Structure 1
Amino acid sequence: MFASLAVLASFLVAQATAHGGVTSYVIAGQTYTGWSPYNSPSGQTTIERPYSSYDPILSATASTIGCNNNGQAGPAQLSASVAAGSQITAKWSQWTHAQGPVTVYMAKCSGSCTSSNSNSLSWFKIAETGLVSGTLPNGVWGTAQVQNTLQYTATIPSALAAGEYLIRHELLALHQANTPQFYPECAQLTVTGGGGKTPSGSYLIKLPGGYSQSDPSINMNIYTPEAAQTTTYKVPGPAVWNGQ
């Protein structure tokens, strides 16, 4: 019995260390501790939306694809103030997958973000890093940079209108053929200053809804002979909105 429990515990630890999630944010030199998915929700006070594990989401249309949860805020949800035009750095405590893109999205809340369900919001992309150089199986990817530094920095568009927003960091791991692994997490921000602009039209997507499992940039095999000769990759989702 005890041996079985030990094996199970070892398996769970191995599963947790095989993946990863955002564990903190740095904004204007201040570090905000993130959600701890393997601890009790009770007493956790953070700007990050709650999520349950470091395990991947395997479906592009999963109901949890927005923020790796049911769309709701935490029991003691906070928001961080950030000036438009400034940087935000997401940090991971672990990450092991080197093939795939990194994307950062934001969504404006109608009123309070704490009372907003992330699944009902419209998301726009503010940053992405796909295949930086080389070929699909052996090149340098955005997720490889996260693997090396355990962080990713994006800039809040200086033209963005002030207000309450969610920010969403997503790692998409493509190391298993035709089995994409999504790792999204969200946090709440109050943007100050800015230029009063918000994106519209083709810049906006719903999550779920904005991705398709049949998207060739999502459901792909990077180990085919053709992939070994391919040096370009289109990051899923809309174009990056830079405030124009």
Structure 2
Amino acid sequence: MKATQAISAALLQASFVLGHGGVTEYQINGEWYTGMKPYNSPTNQQPSIQRYWQSFDPIQDPTSVNIICNNPGTVAPLSAEVPAGSEVVEYWNSGWAHNLGPMVTWMTECPSECSSWNGQGGKWFKIDEAGLSSGVLANGKWGSADMIAQNYSWTSTIPRSLKPGNYLLRTETIALHSNPPQWYPNCAQLKVTGSGTVSPGAQYRASIPGVYSMSDPSINIQDFWTSKETTYKIPGPDVWKG
């Protein structure tokens, strides 16, 4: 009986893992960085540039502070040095199943060292996004499907003209198959280098939490599975290219 229960529990956990998750590895400027392995306590987390998340569970309250860098979003001990203009590749856990929703990458400046700031009060700007590119909401081609097709990876380019400094890089997918949606945010601590001199203006900035709301029709989609809508407006400001 105990063996049967153990097998059932293992199968349930495997099914759960396939349905949820987050970024588990980063490749930055030719270097590999291990991301979070959930279910480790914050005091026993492995050294990482990624802010701690404790489980594969999504965030479903857009007003929660957990939507910033996941739950609990504890600061990481390390930061990765990356020249402006370079690529950051985030690898999500293999077997990711949610292919109906956008991919969005945000950045914000840390007031000093990122390892001493919890992320609250940041003014974020987008450096890339990918929403619905074809089809209708429930069976169209989304940015999250592109991530899956790219070996569960998403590549973002740090704008070449960005001013050097300490930044949080926040990559998320928003799974729209449920209402409320499922947010999967992941934050990495970066030290941007280079000769850039520019910071995005206020028109490119948004607060997190704040940018997402259940009063937004792009978030609170009542007829997602039956809608014939072929366009989708990703919430928030335009992407800043530098």
Structure 2, unaligned runs of 5 or more = none
Contact kept? 2:54, 2:72, Cα under 8 Å: no
TM-score by length of 1: 0.91
Deviation by residue 1:137-160 (Cα, 9 ceiling, x = unmatched):
221100011122200111101111
CA distance in 1, matches of 2:210, 2:73: 14
What is the CA RMSD across the aligned residues, in angstroms?
1.7
Contact kept? 1:105, 1:169, Cα under 8 Å: yes
Contact kept? 1:217, 1:235, Cα under 8 Å: yes
Q: 1:130 corresponds to which residue?
A: 131
Deviation at 1:14, TM superposition (A): 2.1
Q: 2:241 corresponds to which residue?
A: 242
Contact kept? 1:23, 1:93, Cα under 8 Å: yes
Alignment of 1:1-244 (within 5 A): 2=2, 3-4=4-5, 6-41=7-42, 42=44, 44-74=46-76, 77-94=77-94, 95-149=96-150, 150-176=152-178, 178-220=179-221, 221-224=223-226, 227-228=227-228, 230-243=229-242
Deviation by residue 1:49-83 (Cα, 9 ceiling, x = unmatched):
11011111111112200000334303xx1100001
What secondary structure does 1:241 align onto? Answer: coil
CA distance in 1, matches of 2:225, 2:47: 43
Structure 1, unaligned runs of 5 or more = none
CA distance in 2, matches of 1:99, 1:43: 31
What secondary structure does 2:231 align onto? Answer: coil
Q: 185-194 or 206-215, which moves further after superposition?
A: 206-215
CA distance in 2, matches of 1:169, 1:142: 12
Contact kept? 2:205, 2:237, Cα under 8 Å: yes
What secondary structure does 2:216 align onto? Answer: coil
Deviation at 1:12, TM superposition (A): 2.9
Aligned length: 237
Contact kept? 1:85, 1:194, Cα under 8 Å: no
CA distance in 1, matches of 2:217, 2:88: 30
CA distance in 1, matches of 2:135, 2:114: 40
Deviation at 1:5, TM superposition (A): 5.0
Contact kept? 2:63, 2:213, Cα under 8 Å: yes
CA distance in 2, matches of 1:121, 1:179: 24
CA distance in 2, matches of 1:70, 1:197: 31
Q: Could you tell me which amino acid in structure 2 is paired with residue 217 of structure 1?
A: S
CA distance in 2, matches of 1:44, 1:72: 13
CA distance in 2, matches of 1:217, 1:63: 20
**What percent of counterpart residues are identical?**
47
Q: Could you tell me which amino acid in structure 2 is paired with residue 172 of structure 1?
A: I
CA distance in 2, matches of 1:109, 1:23: 22
CA distance in 1, matches of 2:197, 2:73: 27
CA distance in 2, matches of 1:190, 1:26: 14
Q: Could you tell me which amino acid in structure 2 is paired with residue 54 of structure 1?
A: F
Q: Could you tell me which amino acid in structure 1 is paired with residue 74 of structure 2?
A: Q
Contact kept? 1:130, 1:235, Cα under 8 Å: yes
Contact kept? 1:73, 1:114, Cα under 8 Å: yes
TM-score by length of 2: 0.92
